[in-house]
Structure 1
Amino acid sequence: MGSSVPASSQQPRWDRINSAVVIAQARQIYFHFLARCAGQNDPLGVVITEPRSGQGRVVFELPVLLPEEQFIPLELVRGRSGRSRSARSPYRG
């Protein structure tokens, strides 16, 4: 199934936002969802609807975004799970 929303519009505009703040907001929304709705299917990501207040929602399909909204994919919300500390180079200090 295809989406009528271009993939480029689904990527956060990193040049317009503070990525650390937005990802932290998305994590808070996602973990709140997990606490309330454990056992449901994994969402695709989080939409930050109010960047200043950190309000948003978990989404299960690609959203159509308003200009001030940001979609944060679940991979960014969960963090770098594919890389562990033991995978670091032994040559780094």
Structure 2
Amino acid sequence: MRTSTRLAGVLTGLTLALGGAAALTAPAAHADVTACINQVERELQGGEAPASIRTACSVGMGGDQKQCVTGLTTGGVTNGTAVSACRVAAQ
């Protein structure tokens, strides 16, 4: 096997290995959802957010702010908190 072919194979393997390691150490995607949920839970004064709130925050993380706000307000969150929580989810 030629040295250049062997070197290319080693570099390809190293790139794939490092890329996989980077994916494992990347911050979790749910961090933004968690911040959204935490804002809502502060309004609920310690109560745990129901599944509908978690779903709305997930939608907000995906970028659909209007649907996020609608989901949160339907779940009993005030409009002001819903808007700010959805804004945090999108960041």
Give the structure-2-normalised TM-score.
Answer: 0.30
Greater strand fraction, Structure 1 or Structure 2:
1
Greater helix fraction, Structure 1 or Structure 2:
2
